[in-house]
């Protein structure tokens, strides 16, 4: 079973920041937080991951709370092309295993 | 730039027939994963390979399913005696794991092969 809880859906206005929350209250010390997204009819796409520090790349920022029990993915200036299902996943670093996806958050960016 | 390629993109078959899907990973990637996704659900893990070795199989992978990666490059997923419940998108992903280096979990997915069983 997925170890994360996410809202089923969210709306965001085009050009505004999209803040997608994720709860992972049972995360253990060696588990990373990963974010993927899936645009309709495409395969999932990696966005970002982190362990305890906040992370930023060209796509998004990841803010992890100090207790690591929750995180927020931030898309700073959402566009219509960011409409997708966003998956938050926790996984042990160095694990040989797979990523376990939940149902994710359906983000709709509206003009 | 060649990403992960999957064929066929769509397959319609009758119940009881066998189907085979092919996945060509990114060329230098040594890990290859198969996932299944039904409507409204997230992808579900089926199996994964490191080079030609199949290292993990999900309980979802019944004995009607078989996956191979004979030379550590492309992979095939065969479903025998298809059932209507097998209708889904079958996703392939690949990644690169260097020896002794932590796997950072960045998987590159293909666009999937959609199976419809009538």
- Residue B62 and residue B50: Cα distance in Å, rounded? 21
Q: What is the pLDDT of residues A12-41, one digit of tens each?
A: 999 999 999 999 999 988 888 999 999 998
B18 near B80, Cβ under 8 Å? yes
Asked if A103 lies within 8 A of B48 by C-beta distance, the reply is: no
Rounded (10°) CA dihedral A102, A54, B94, A26? -40
Tens digit of each residue's pLDDT, chain B (118 residues) = 579 999 999 999 999 999 999 999 998 888 999 999 999 899 999 999 999 999 888 888 889 999 999 988 999 999 999 999 999 999 999 988 766 555 566 889 999 999 999 9
Say whether pLDDT at A93 is over 80.
Answer: no
pLDDT at B102: 56
Distance from CA of B114 to the nearest CA of A (A): 10
pLDDT, position A69: 94
How close, in Å, is residue B115 to chain A by CA atoms? 13
Q: Which residues in chain B have their CB less than 8 angstroms from residue A98's CB? A: 33, 45, 48, 56
Distance between CA atoms of residues A2 and B35, nearest Å: 15
**pLDDT value, residue A31:** 87
Token digits of residue B28: 């230098």
The shortest CB-CB distance from B103 to any of A96, A100, A101 is to A96
A96 — pLDDT class (breaks 50, 70, 90): low
B93 and A43: CB-CB below 8 Å?
Answer: yes
Q: What band does A92 get if pLDDT is binned at 50, 70 and 90?
A: confident
Closest C-alpha to B32, from B55, B53, B15, B48: B48
Chain A residues touching chain B at CB-CB below 8 Å? 2, 32, 34, 36, 41-46, 49, 85, 87, 91, 93-104
Q: Tell me the three state secondary structure of residue B89.
A: strand
Query: A77-102 b/e with 16+ CB inside 10 Å = b?
Result: ebeeebbbbbbbbbbeeeeeebbbbb
């Amino acid at each position: 079973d997925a170890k994360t809880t996410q809202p089923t859906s969210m709306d965001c206005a085009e050009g505004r920041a999209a803040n997608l929350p994720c709860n992972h209250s049972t995360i253990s010390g060696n588990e990373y937080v990963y974010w993927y997204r899936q645009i309709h009819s495409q395969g999932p796409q990696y966005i970002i991951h982190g362990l305890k520090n906040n992370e930023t790349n060209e796509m998004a920022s990841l803010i992890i709370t100090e207790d690591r029990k929750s995180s927020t993915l931030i898309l700073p200036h959402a566009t219509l092309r960011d409409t997708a299902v966003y998956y938050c996943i926790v996984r042990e670093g160095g694990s040989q295993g797979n990523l376990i996806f939940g149902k994710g958050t359906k983000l709709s960016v509206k003009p | 730039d060649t990403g992960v390629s999957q064929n066929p993109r769509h397959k319609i078959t009758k119940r009881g027939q066998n189907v085979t899907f092919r996945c060509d990973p990114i060329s230098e990637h040594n890990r290859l994963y198969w996932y299944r996704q039904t409507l409204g659900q997230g992808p579900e893990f089926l199996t994964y390979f490191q080079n030609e070795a199949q290292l993990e199989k999900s309980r979802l992978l019944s004995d009607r399913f078989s996956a191979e990666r004979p030379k550590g490059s492309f992979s095939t997923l065969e479903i025998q005696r298809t059932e209507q419940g097998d209708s889904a998108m079958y996703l392939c992903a690949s990644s690169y794991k260097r020896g002794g280096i932590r796997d950072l979990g960045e998987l590159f997915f293909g666009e999937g092969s959609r199976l419809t069983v009538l």
